[in-house]
């Protein structure tokens, strides 16, 4: 049975909604945001180092990222309902929108929320939020790369291509200082012939 760690007023609603649509059985564990900072409680950090919701646990598998959890749940469904057939044009539209939601769209929405908080004698100023996010995310990345060669384990995958470009931006923004494993990883993947060929195109 799947366990979903749910935080009130959060993206874990996506996962609960999907499970309800499919009628997939699950156990829900509730966590409550701090009423002042609106941050997640420490109980979520005990479940996953990012301390964010949603988190899904299924036996030995613990997953964060709502989009990954959504794919996992649909993979388990015998008819793979609510996902167009793999390889169809609709499937790639589906994938684009799933990535768009957390990739392109999240930034302007979060930035506009932060700008509003900043101009309202915010209890949680923008700098503090960004520093906290950067610390949590880059520590998580550093720990991951201290234990394994690539993001998805011992083999290079497209997840490394996705992450490398983001890490290059982070490095330019001086967010990787002191992150020795992450910097070594970057140097390693940047030596791949296909990477070198890709950057030769400008």
Q: Which tokens is 23 given?
A: 């009628």
Looking at beta carbons only, is 31 or 179 nearer to ligand GSH? Answer: 31
Residues that bind ligand GSH (CB under 6 A): 7, 10-11, 39-40, 51-54, 65-66, 102
Q: Are 182 and 145 in contact (CB under 8 A)?
A: yes
CB nearer to ligand GSH: pick between 54 and 163: 54
Cα(37)–Cα(49) distance, integer angstroms? 19
Least Å distance, CB 146 to ligand GSH, is 22
For ligand GSH, the closer CB: 65 or 77: 65
- Please identify, using beta-carbon distances, which residue of 21 and 34 lies nearer to ligand GSH: 34
Phi, psi for 64 (deg, rounded to 5)? -110, -175
CB of 153 vs ligand GSH, minimal distance in Å: 21
141: which 2 tokens?
Answer: 């990345």
Establish how many alpha carbons lie within 13 A of residue 164's alpha carbon, considering only the half-sphere containing its beta carbon: 21
Helices 12-22/66-76 angle, 10° precision: 10
CB of 47 to ligand GSH, least distance (A): 11
Residue whose C-alpha is closest to residue 28's, from 40, 11, 12: 12
Closest separation between CB of residue 64 and ligand GSH, Å? 6
């Amino acid at each position: 049975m799947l366990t979903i760690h749910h935080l009130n007023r959060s993206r874990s609603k996506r996962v609960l909604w999907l499970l309800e649509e499919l009628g997939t059985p699950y156990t829900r564990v509730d966590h409550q945001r701090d009423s002042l900072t609106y941050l997640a409680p420490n109980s979520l950090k005990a479940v996953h180092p990012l301390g964010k919701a949603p988190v899904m646990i299924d036996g030995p598998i613990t997953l964060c990222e709502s989009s990954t959890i959504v794919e996992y749940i649909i993979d388990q469904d015998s008819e793979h309902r609510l996902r167009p057939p793999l390889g169809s044009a609709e499937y790639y539209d589906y994938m684009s929108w799933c990535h768009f939601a957390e990739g392109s769209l999240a930034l302007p929405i979060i930035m506009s929320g932060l700008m509003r908080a900043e101009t309202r004698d915010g209890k949680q100023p923008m700098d503090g939020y960004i520093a906290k996010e950067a610390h949590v995310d880059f520590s998580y990345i550093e720990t991951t790369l201290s234990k394994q060669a690539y993001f998805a384990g011992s083999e290079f995958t497209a997840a490394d291509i996705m992450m490398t470009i983001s890490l290059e931006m982070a490095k330019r923004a001086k967010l990787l200082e002191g992150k020795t494993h992450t910097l070594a990883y970057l140097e390693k993947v940047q030596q791949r012939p296909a990477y070198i060929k890709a950057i030769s195109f400008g």
